[in-house]
Structure 1
Amino acid sequence: MTIQVYGFGLIVFLFSCLDRRLPNGTIWDTFKEGVPVEYYPMSSALVNVPGELRKLLEALSPNLDDDSKRTTLHNITQYIYLKESEANICTNDDIKLVASFLDDDNKVIKTEALNALKAFTIIWRFKIKIQEYVPKVAELVTNTWDTNLQVAGLRLLNGLHIPDNTHPLMRRLLSNFMDILLMANTLAKVQVLKFLSTLAQEEDLLYDIMNSQAPPEFLSLFQPSLPGNLLCELLIFVERLSAGRLSPQYQSVQWQYNDNSLHEVIFGDNSRLSDRLLALIIHPEEEVQTEACKVILSLRLNKEESRVLSGPPFGANISVGPLESTGISQANTSSLSNHPLNSRASHPSDTVGNDGTHDESDLSFYPLQTLDDTGHSFHPMDSGRIVEDNSRSNLHPVDCLDNDSSSI
């Protein structure tokens, strides 16, 4: 019994020492180095301590040494994910304090600050405040060639709405994002593709993305041997470009593209993208197969649309000449009359009971039908009277009515 008590006391003592030393960054740092923040959990005893997040925020200061800054920011990130209720009572001043470490000289501290801001985005009302730092984050991602920092910054950007007033900056940084897509590691490529797909949905940025420089190595990304998540994001990006290209707003302008533009690599006449996509149809991952089929169909629609737009104007091959006479018009246009044109000599016996009319050349013809207000057709009479035939809903002239038949 005594041994059990001593053993339990030793465990409690060691745990309390661990608890006290965690904020100073002396125990777990070597184990945590290089591991994403989601994968190393915090002690449940620390999580259950009320007000611990507030204590960490109050302890965070530019005067701390680099290890303390990094560890404190890291613990703030974990507390936000694990204790959302405490994170919800934070203020915009706390966001401003964490964001101030984006200007630190140490890239690791900048990365931890980006992770902490990303954690704060789970609180909806903080997203508006964090959007103010979108230009700063974009500059960090494109100007600092550090994989961890780029991934952290892109994850933060992908969790935010990109304000319209930052579009000129994004337009200027497109070439840098394309460099990340071509040269960074897989994780950074996945994140930058998500970000580019978001920008491709902005109407005022679509052309700039299409006209951005894309070397021939861009098609090397469509390799079946690459990870499935990377291929899926790449195919989604191409599908977004294709959909934007088919929009009426985009087609209303005759755009001009550079020879080595992304548009020419994907949609140009000499593009080899179709061959790459066919290889992805048999990819072992079903999601990749599905996205590849979507892109193939979208590219087919683009080609059909381009063929229609490059064809002759509508009706250009239809020749219309003047009609020689009204009689010829009736003979050639059957829709103008339900009766054929009769060209025959008139006989006295034909003048009675005949619906035709004679011209000076002694040829009979039928007058053109006319439409009344109800949409029915009728033959006009001299007297202006008409009789309707209920069996065909057409109106025909009365052949002859004298004064003796008015009682009918």
Structure 2
Amino acid sequence: MTTETLDRLVEFRHDLHREPELGFEERDTSRKVCAYLDALGVEYVSGIGQTGVVAWIVGSAGKSDATVGLRADMDALPIEEKSGVAHTSTRAGRMHACGHDGHTSMLLGAVEHLTAHDDFAGTVYFVFQPAEEGVGGATAMIEDGVFERFDVREIYALHNWPALPIGQYGLIPGPIMACGDRVDITIHGRGGHGGLNPHGCIDPIRIAAELVHKAHTIIAREVDPLSPAVLSICALQAGDLSGFAVIPDTAKLCGTIRALDDATREIVRCRLRRLCESLEHYYGAEIELMIEDKFSVTFNDPAATETAREVIGSCFGEDTLAPNYKPCMGGEDFSYMLAERPGAYIHVGSGDDDHSRGLHHPEYDFNDRIMPAGIQLFTELARKSLEKQQTQA
């Protein structure tokens, strides 16, 4: 890839970073992606899953039924940026804090490279997905018929990973990212005077405090220690700090459940339901518990993982694969695409002295230094997948 092309892609990434859009609001982002594809003369369909885009290139090296998909996410997060970079967000309360601007730009780089070097047999599909951040973008594209409209037989995705140094890659077969639930709890008690008649109240703050304490023991005492799981209560709202003697009527809590298999996930869900029911009966309160499925387990197909290992080894060296790599308890809705088609999800090391902030941090910024490697990895994954499919046909 020429310096000129790389500079253009970096500037494209910076432009996306300056104008971030949340899930299903990526109208400007989609238009910019489509404009880039138009300039390359690449065919595409937009508006899939609301704001998603799918482009494709048919190789010139003979007719083949082999197909492969490469996916990148496009949405930003509701975070106020504090990175201080020159291309910082111009939209208040919106920020590319997970590097999706970089993923989109790398995938466009792969489109550009394969357009100029189409000496392969088969079809490569480029899936620009909206709304990855827990709001159902992958599901929306699937429900919109992405895999019926485009015959994708394998699919791959990358994610920049600040926890790994540049030049390292995280890849394992089986679960690599956890399933994830959003938990919302509302405790309906009976408010009153905190000094005059606390005994006449059903104090939702007292109940919430006990619930938080006991919920955080579920993993330690209810789950097999060899089955990784997480239950975190991450927010609690009740009362008003100006009302120092007012016991409120309600308290609201929010949190998350994570696990690497559905059986463990259901155990945690069941125990949390039982805990809420027991506190409800004991205190005479009403407790509403809602558990929303956000992500399934991101499961790497063993054969596709081996393909990715071969590509990483040949492109960057076997020693760049992080040794003894472990699954992450974060979630990823690429999991739903992997449930439909075999494929693999790869962590691309992006950490260095200037990029030490983790994902979703207000001071985070995507590391442009990994862009050439990400583009190369995307393109070679496509080539290797098509090659293997033809060999096995």
TM-score tier, shorter chain, comes to under 0.3
Structure having the higher Rg = 1
Q: Which of the pair has the greater relative contact order for Cα pairs under 8 Å at 6+ separation?
A: 2
The structure with more strand, counted as a fraction of residues: 2
